[in-house]
Amino acid sequence: MSSQSIEIGSVSIDRNAARRATKLAVIVLCLMMVLQVAVVAVLTVGPQPLRSVNEVPAEPDAAAWDDAPTETVSLDPQQMALPYGGGSVDEVTVQAVTNDTHVAFRMEWEDPTADTEINEPNAYSDAAAIMLRSGSQPPVAMGASGDPVNIWYWRSSWQHSESDPGGDMYSYPHPDNETKPGQAAGNPLSKSSYNRYAQNYYATGYGSLTNAETQPVAANGERTDDGWAVVFQREHDASGQYDAAFEDGEQMYLTYAIWDGDADEVNGEKSLSYQFLTLDTDDGTLSAADSDDGGGNETDGTDGGAVAGVTDSALWLVGAATNWPALLALATVTAWLVSYWRLRE
């Protein structure tokens, strides 16, 4: 028997080739493990922790947001109910922080124009909203009968208008003075001034938007270098009939919408997310929800179906990336056999 080979039954193994093939197989194993870590890092979109802070910030540029985890949410045109339209904003980044008493959500998106005046026809305000429901996932079409949702809404004209934030275009001439029937009737969209810059709404489907009797939500929006950043803030506890309940053990579902005034977006014409995020109020995580809303409302027939399909594919890849033991073993053995065969030639 040669010192350069080992005889195992009728099989002769070249020692030098086997030693070099083993080194190459170890290198392949290490590279596969590095690739696994990289794939998981790239594809994992959640869960992310809801950062606990001493004081929940009201300002979009507060230092508390610097280390808060960020989710990037894709937006699409509203195509579920008339009037269809929107879609001028492709995505919004969202963050969340909490403490023992308050919770806050920050939204940031690109918008090259600041549309803050509605004092003439065809002038529309930039705006943003969060739709929330605790417990079960509601239909994305602003809830449904039996599945009410809570909507927090901010409008740039309420905070940054240099004229009447309720809209001078809704005034009517009068011999003594101009009249503003919206303000006279107490319409929450026609106030002469605002101090919380947000409205708290309930809805049970399109066309059912109702201004809540209680208004516990505050909002603050500021211009960034390339768009808007808006913070919504509220105490955990709220007394309204359909107010989102931030209670331990109750999972919260959230989705987002943006209106671009310069693109004539108003009412149903908006950019919105067809994919919910979930906020687990028990362990404090923010992550992508399942694409099926749990109520038989499939998203495959809308643009949101494409978004959900991409999300499902990403989650499948994440699962594969986190279950690689068999693949690693197969790759290592294959690398050894191929290397040994080539080295013996």
- Residues 223-260 have pLDDT tens digits of 999 999 999 999 999 989 999 988 877 789 999 999 99
* pLDDT at residue 42 tops 60: no
55-84 burial by CB neighbour count: b if 16+ within 10 A, else e?
A: ebbeebebebbeebbebebbbbbbbbeeee
Both 230 and 143 in one domain: the answer is yes
pLDDT score for 78: 95
* Within-domain flag for 203: yes
Q: What is the pLDDT of residues 48-102, one digit of tens each?
A: 445 667 789 999 999 999 988 889 999 999 999 889 999 999 999 999 988 888 9
Q: Which domain holds residue 211?
A: 48-299
215-247 burial by CB neighbour count: b if 16+ within 10 A, else e?
A: ebbbbbbeeeeebbbbbbbbebebeeebbbbbe
pTM (2 decimals)? 0.68
- Say how far apart CA 55 and CA 150 lie, in whole Å: 24
* pLDDT at residue 24 tops 50: yes
pLDDT score for 23: 82
* Within-domain flag for 304: no
Contacts of 142 (CB under 8 A, 6+ apart): 131, 149, 151, 203, 204, 205, 206, 208, 209
Neighbours of 214 (CB within 10 A): 11
Both 288 and 336 in one domain: the answer is no
Both 168 and 236 in one domain: the answer is yes
- Say how far apart CA 56 and CA 200 lie, in whole Å: 19
DSSP string, 178-205: -B-HHHHTT-TTS-S--SS--EEEEESS
The residue-averaged pLDDT of 137-144 equals 92
Q: What is the pLDDT of residues 164-222, one digit of tens each?
A: 666 554 555 666 666 677 777 777 777 777 788 999 999 999 889 999 999 999 999 99
pLDDT score for 88: 97
Average of per-residue pLDDT values in the chain = 80
Per the structure, how many domains does the chain have? Answer: 2
CATH number assigned to the domain comprising residue 223: 2.60.40.1190
The residue-averaged pLDDT of 115-120 equals 88
Both 294 and 329 in one domain: the answer is no
Q: What is the pLDDT of residues 287-318, one digit of tens each?
A: 888 655 444 344 333 343 444 444 444 444 44
Both 176 and 324 in one domain: the answer is no
* pLDDT at residue 152 tops 80: yes
